[in-house]
Chain A
Amino acid sequence: DAGITQSPRHKVTETGTPVTLRCHQTENHRYMYWYRQDPGHGLRLIHYSYGVKDTDKGEVSDGYSVSRSKTEDFLLTLESATSSQTSVYFCAISEFTDTQYFGPGTRLTVL
């Protein structure tokens, strides 16, 4: 299994509070991604990174920001959480055009 961890694994928070999810890899892969999974939508790309300090938006980036200060860490921040951001969040990594490997996920509930 690819060395990808996500923290926290579960989080319950209130509307309007900031939330940061962390993805950590030990594979030294160049690309890192954040997806959210919702019923009826499959997984949708939020943001991705193609190197340290290099990030770009995905399909559903509104309300999210990301940062990557080290190769191994990719942070996803919800500046002011809303109930529509209740979801399961997955981090993924890949090296160039190789297969994308996913972390175990973080279940976020916004009340």
Chain B
Amino acid sequence: DQQVKQNSPSLSVQEGRISILNCDYTNSMFDYFLWYKKYPAEGPTFLISISSIKDKNEDGRFTVFLNKSAKHLSLHIVPSQPGDSAVYFCAATIIQGAQKLVFGQGTRLTINP
């Protein structure tokens, strides 16, 4: 039973355009959501997060939107750059001490010149 789902295994975007990555979750108890970026042969690196009390969080070119009623979050990257090509994982957790992350399957983003 996948509690966090990323239904698009891959996404291809032209350089300079907006990249939108989507994530759905089923557990309404989740109260903190994160996006991680992963390059091949490296560990995931933290990108941006959002608390369930907010609906938007922005950090430079990256914005995360949370729609609690739809149990949906998205990551917007504007403008997309070639260095953004990577696998992106969304993750969710319940804030209670240990941060037990539940990850989606990942979306491979390719930015084309």
Q: Contact residues of A with B, CB < 8 Å?
A: 4, 31, 33, 35, 40-45, 48, 50, 56, 58-59, 90, 92, 94, 96-97, 99-105
Contact = CB atoms under 8 A, between A and B. Distances in A.
Nearest to B100: A45
Interface in B55-110: 89, 91, 95, 97-106
Contact of B45 (A31, A50, A94, A102): A102
Contacts, number: 63
B49 A99 contact: yes
Task: Pick the most buried of A31, A33, A102: most chain B CB atoms within 10 A of its CB.
Answer: A102
A43 B102 CA distance: 8
A90 B43 contact: yes
Nearest to A6: B43
A42 B98 CA distance: 19
A94 B4 CA distance: 21
Interface residues of B, number: 25
Contact of B97 (A44, A92, A96): A96
A92 B100 CA distance: 11
B89 A42 contact: yes
A102 B106 contact: no
B48 to A, nearest CB: 10
14 contacts: A35-B101, A41-B105, A42-B89, A42-B105, A43-B101, A45-B101, A48-B100, A56-B98, A90-B43, A97-B99, A99-B46, A100-B34, A100-B101, A104-B41
Task: Pick the most buried of B34, B41, B45, B103: most chain A CB atoms within 10 A of its CB.
Answer: B103
Given A42-B106, A97-B95, A103 B43 contact: yes
Contacts of A43: 44, 89, 91, 101, 103
